[in-house]
Amino acid sequence: MKILLILFVVFLTGCGTVLTPREKVVNINSEKPVEIWVDGERLVARGKVNSVKVSNRARRGSEYLLVREVDGDGEHRIELDRKFNRMTLLNLPILFGTIGYPVDYLTGATGKLRKTTYEVKDFTYEDEL
């Protein structure tokens, strides 16, 4: 009976939705103390080395992180780039992905974060001269 229940759940959910974490930790290393804002609206961290939890989903995820100096005016905008989640290809053998892939698309599990560590070294802008 348990095997039937597990098979039923597997057939009605997308592989990317089940096998990919909803959130991921993004590490931001900086030489100076900084504040980190998600999408420029919500302050999530403050300090030199920060770990920030952001959504790993493609459609509902955060778009960018704004890193601002604590004692200055400088800021960096870090675009959160996403790539195709290969786990969604596991939907193909199960009814050619007709159920699993739409579930992954609607939950945003067709994409995942490309990079999870960023270095912020300098807040001076030479091209503004």
Give alpha helix (H) positions in the chain.
2-11, 15-19, 100-107
**pTM metric for this prediction:** 0.69
pLDDT at residue number 97 = 65
Classify 62 as helix, strand or coil. coil
Q: Could you tell me if 8 and 95 are in contact, meaning their C-beta atoms sit under 8 angstroms apart? A: no
Residues 51-95 have pLDDT tens digits of 888 888 766 656 778 888 777 777 888 888 888 888 888 877 766
* CA 76/CA 122 separation, integer angstroms: 9
What whole-number distance in Å separates Cα of residue 19 and Cα of residue 10? 11
pLDDT tens per residue across span 99-114 = 777 888 888 888 888 8
Domain boundaries, the chain: 13-121
